[in-house]
Amino acid sequence: MTKETNKTVAAETIVENLKEFAVELNKAAKAGEIASLIEGDKDSFLLAKISHDISNGLAYILQGKSADVALEQIFGDEEDEEDGTTLGSIAVNIKTGDAKGIENIKDPKIRKQLAEAVQKLADKLGGK
């Protein structure tokens, strides 16, 4: 059984602490995503991505958005209604320069440009 205390915490203090937590979680998650890409560790990348999504959702809620809106901001619709483009993620293995997620892009010009940009990034970060 826990001991109850009469300590009261101001709402402003709670909000500031949550903001600081969201920022720190976001930084750690981004670093985890990058490290797991470099190491080629798919499981670690997925965990870091989930943490990153949670930190972004928390940031949206702290901006006064509802949980539904925050989830929509993070995950979005599978298809953008205005131009029909599919939204998604791209995973890059920095060591090999291989990119997963660009193969479904229908426009060959955009797919080629993206592949070249990914290769430049991999080269710059010490890939092949």
Specify whether 62 is located in the same domain as 22.
yes
Q: Please give the average per-residue pLDDT across 24-50, as a whole number.
A: 90
Q: Which helix (H) or strand (E) holds 9?
A: none
- Beta-bridge partners for 100: 91
Specify whether 52 is located in the same domain as 96.
no
Tell me the pTM: 0.55
The pLDDT tens digits of the residues spanning 66-89 come to 988 888 888 775 444 444 444 566
The pLDDT tens digits of the residues spanning 3-34 come to 666 688 899 999 999 999 999 999 999 999 88
Q: What distance in Å separates the CA atoms of residue 34 and residue 8, rounded to the nearest whole number?
A: 40
Which residue range is the domain that position 122 belongs to? Answer: 89-128
User: Based on the structure, what is the number of domains in the chain?
Assistant: 2
Yes or no: say if 48 and 29 are a contact pair by the CB < 8 Å rule: yes
